[in-house]
Structure 1
């Protein structure tokens, strides 16, 4: 056997001279076997340079240490940073995160959900498309494992961690009204519930301050926000310009497109007296500080969102392992955003 390549756990068990069930038990928990047996296994591991398929070991555990994560776009810096932090925190807690992307497509989100259902997972964190999500599949996933929604809700009655859009938008509206002309609002494409929540938050904030709301509607469900912002700005400028000299964009990526189009039209952006337009965003995208001028925005708590969603999921996993009836958190977990004042507004 020493000259034969060890391809799986069965081969290793024969090479080590230890039963397959004992080998499997060791890989699930090294402390679950006797010290002398553990020493023999570890000596055999070193001798044969064998590395088991950790993913398969995890799936075969009674209590698997894998969690699923679905986000709309892994390339979006917002989701990329949250996924990075969830992965790191999961590893520290002894869990592997299996990350899938729906690429903003309902059918691909459905396939990602079905993939999670086919795996033996402890639970999942999902940033859903929301309006276009398959409600039946979401319900099935929720019944199959502990489930936490992140960033956007798929239903009102499910565990959710996100930014308090009412607080974040109100914070920016009050700042813009206090420091200059009241803002109009360029809404984001209705790719998830954040679109309608932020629009409604803007309208409420303006009403509370006694001002008329000016919403610039976007007839799109495209995740290419920069292009949407660029094209909508050109349309608006062709039709006579924005209704006010301050533009609040529903997210930073829209603002990037607005600023690019305005620059190409020869407009000066900023908060100085000679500026033509003030532009503000939402999210604190990693590139927002590098635009010219740097983008004024409200910062979502990336670390807080990742930490809170994982903590909530692991708490639900712990409760689901107990004999007591399952209970879910009451109400959503909403985190506050922070005003980031830069030069664009």
Structure 2
């Protein structure tokens, strides 16, 4: 800054005002300083700025698994909202490990970020409460009951019930569910929605029809093979997410069967691949971009010292009917 000041023949304070409060500097002086800045590609010293303002203008976002396609649109929503408000985003991949999640929170303790959006909630609740008492934090997609932190998500129980009832309305009674890992709240919620739908229609739930899977194509493939090997295999399956639904569909195909003629399949998330894969996958659409954008909006309010009157934000989901459930030419109750 002192170099710019010398070349422009002004004080360092004037250079600082041109960068932070240009309206307080005359047009001629402003143009003279900006000419030097552009000519020499001057960049403000961010560490010095942070020391002075006690702000990093940086947001930490922790993702459970960066390879999961679902999070790309959520992250885009966060990024766009952050950039529009002068913030940059740093990303941490927890790799589904609560210890890694906790390690990333050290960036907050070291004042390397102004706040955090957690897209995963597998840390100890007490640890999260301690962090939220000292730093702005928002949970998105996942949540923890009883934790007084703003959250943004859909109603996973209701949407899973909707997905299962879609299959029931098509006449299926032998409906299986391939869950995600049961240590994840979303897996438990979607299982609960499946169970509610079955019980509300007086359909007996066969325990063998519920198979827990890792969140992967390969694991879901294996669980579907187990279901098909049963003495009375299911005629339909609701799968935890779209990637896993593709694994289930491949298992059906590799067994010489047809989707949806022999086994109807419904996924979750409405990833881009679900509309491209054959057969196209019936799924639950989550407003991924909006979840990210809303989470960032709430975090900015916390950073700015605002008190949120509402802490839980539940966005709308939608059943997207495609080929894999076999409803092409049938009327289905929403």
- Structure 2 distance, partners of 1:32, 1:59, is 23
TM-score normalized with structure 2 length: 0.86
29-38 or 111-120: which moved more? 29-38
- Structure 2 distance, partners of 1:253, 1:196, is 18
Does residue 170 of structure 2 align to residue 179 of structure 1? yes
41-50 or 54-63: which moved more? 54-63
1:91: how far off?
1.3
Does residue 249 of structure 2 align to residue 269 of structure 1? no
Task: Indicate the RMSD between aligned Cα atoms, in angstroms.
Answer: 2.6
- Stretches of structure 1 that go unaligned for 5 or more consecutive residues are 1-8, 321-326
186-195 or 291-300: which moved more? 186-195
8 Å contact from structure 2 (residues 221, 248) kept in 1: yes
Does residue 292 of structure 2 align to residue 300 of structure 1? no
Q: Name the CA shift for 1:42/1:232 in 2 (closer, same or farther; >3 Å).
A: same
1:33: how far off?
4.5
- Structure 2 distance, partners of 1:153, 1:200, is 16
> Secondary structure of the equivalent of 1:287?
helix
- Structure 2 distance, partners of 1:314, 1:334, is 19
Does residue 64 of structure 2 align to residue 72 of structure 1? yes
TM-score normalized with structure 1 length: 0.83
Structure 2 equivalent of residue 188 of structure 1: 180
1:219: how far off?
5.1
Matches within 5 A, 1:143-162: 143-156=133-146, 157-162=148-153
1:213: how far off?
2.8
1:332: how far off?
1.4
Does residue 190 of structure 2 align to residue 198 of structure 1? yes
Which of the numbers 327, 330, 333 marks the counterpart of 2:310? Answer: 330
Structure 2 equivalent of residue 253 of structure 1: 243
Structure 1 equivalent of residue 331 of structure 2: none
Q: Name the CA shift for 1:15/1:105 in 2 (closer, same or farther; >3 Å).
A: farther
- Structure 2 distance, partners of 1:149, 1:140, is 14
8 Å contact from structure 2 (residues 77, 291) kept in 1: no
8 Å contact from structure 2 (residues 4, 33) kept in 1: no
1:169: how far off?
1.3
Matches within 5 A, 1:111-122: 111-122=103-114
1:87: how far off?
0.7
Q: Which has the higher contact order (CA 8 A, sep 6+)?
A: 2
- Stretches of structure 2 that go unaligned for 5 or more consecutive residues are 326-334
1:191: how far off?
5.1
